[in-house]
């Protein structure tokens, strides 16, 4: 298959824990987390253009195309490499906006990786990660492409291989703005840092969860329901929540038991990005 004809996967991520351990002088929060990819996400198809334009075939409601992360990623790659080719980006969205699953960041990273190959710009992963960091703090982990303990503002990685797991992920019908959570006076910013090799499955919590639950009761309601099955956690700044299962049948049985009005999906944890 010609690379221009293929669909490029943009998987979801979850944060197995997320601690805020400090704050830089420029206002950026210092984090510790473990990113894990899921076998569920968006897909992107790239269509070549002869007029040199970067266009989005599938604009998101309320998001001007020029501010869409896929368009910004393509524009940033051209600026960094001197490429002049055009492209129309077709994004098949399955991941919710404001869900904490990294949908926009994953789309941006996949756009960078796909166009780096299609345009033959020849950048290595480190160079793509540097471009990605200028687009958003979560973009580099998707380019890095492996389950990892992350530090700093989320750009320094130590690779990990957690046990195999399946996740039931619930998607509350609310979009949680990341900036609102990080700007909250109630957010704890002094959780003690740990060494990367001290992390173990089940460790920690999500420091953003209490703030999100207070502002968005639907997040709290979904977490409460998930706790019937284990230690439920919110991913990122929310709103999506998850609980881990050792086997797929148990995860799907829990999904089938969802009460009316709740939505979710089941996905396997991935230790490598499909494009890694």
Query: Distances in Å between the alpha carbon of 118 and those of 84, 137, 139, 214, 243?
Result: 12, 25, 19, 45, 38
What does the pLDDT look like over 187-211, one tens digit per residue? 999 999 999 999 999 999 999 999 9
Nearest to 108 by CA among 73, 158, 157: 73
Q: Is 106 annotated as a binding-site member?
A: yes
Give 60-83 pLDDT, tens digit per residue: 888 888 899 999 999 999 999 999
> Looking at 42, 68, 107, 138, which residue is catalytic?
138
86 is in an annotated binding site: no
DSSP designation for 192: P
CA 122 vs CA 77, 118, 125, 154, 274: distances in Å: 11, 10, 10, 25, 19
User: Rg of the chain's alpha carbons, rounded to an integer?
Assistant: 18
Q: What is the mean pLDDT of the chain?
A: 96
104 is in an annotated binding site: yes
Per-residue pLDDT band at 215 (split at 50, 70, 90): very high
Does the annotation place 154 within a ligand binding site?
no
Catalytic: 263? no
Domain 3-159 has CATH 1.10.3720.10: no
Residue-range domain boundaries for the chain: 3-159, 166-270
Sign of the CA dihedral with 51 first, then 53, 54, and 57 last: negative
Is residue 145 part of an annotated ligand binding site? no
| Mean pLDDT across 21-50 | 96
Q: Which two tokens stand for residue 132?
A: 């990605």
Residue 28: CB atoms within 10 Å: 14
> What CATH number was assigned to the domain covering residues 166-270?
3.30.70.890
Residue among 13, 42, 107, 207 flagged as catalytic: 13
Instruction: Over range 128-155, report the average pLDDT.
Output: 94
* Known catalytic residue at 197: no
Question: Bridge-partner residues for 42, per DSSP?
Answer: 10
For range 256-265, the mean pLDDT: 97
């Amino acid at each position: 298959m010609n690379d221009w004809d293929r669909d490029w996967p943009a998987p979801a991520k979850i944060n197995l824990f997320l601690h805020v351990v400090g704050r830089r002088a420029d206002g950026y929060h210092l984090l510790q987390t473990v990113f894990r990819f899921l076998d569920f996400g968006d897909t992107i198809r790239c269509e070549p253009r002869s007029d040199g334009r970067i266009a989005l075939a599938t604009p998101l409601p309320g998001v001007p195309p020029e501010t869409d992360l896929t368009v910004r990623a393509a524009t940033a790659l051209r600026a960094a490499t001197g490429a002049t080719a055009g492209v129309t980006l077709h994004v098949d969205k399955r991941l919710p906006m404001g869900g904490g699953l990294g949908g926009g960041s994953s789309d941006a990273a996949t756009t960078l990786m796909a166009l780096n190959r299609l345009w033959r710009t020849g950048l290595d992963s480190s160079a793509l990660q540097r471009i990605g960091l200028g687009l958003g703090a979560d973009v580099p982990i998707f380019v890095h492409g492996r389950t990892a303990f992350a530090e700093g503002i989320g750009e320094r990685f130590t690779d990990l291989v957690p046990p195999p797991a399946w996740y039931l992920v619930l998607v509350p019908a609310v979009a949680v703005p990341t900036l609102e959570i990080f700007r909250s006076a109630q957010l704890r910013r002094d959780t003690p840092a740990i060494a990367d090799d001290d992390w173990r499955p089940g460790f920690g919590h999500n420091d953003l969860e209490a703030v999100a639950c207070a502002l968005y009761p639907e997040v709290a309601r979904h977490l409460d329901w998930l706790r019937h099955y284990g230690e439920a956690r919110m991913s990122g700044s929310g709103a999506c929540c998850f609980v881990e299962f050792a086997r797929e049948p148990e995860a799907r049985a829990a999904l089938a038991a969802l009460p009316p009005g709740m939505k979710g999906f089941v996905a396997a944890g991935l230790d490598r990005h499909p494009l890694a």
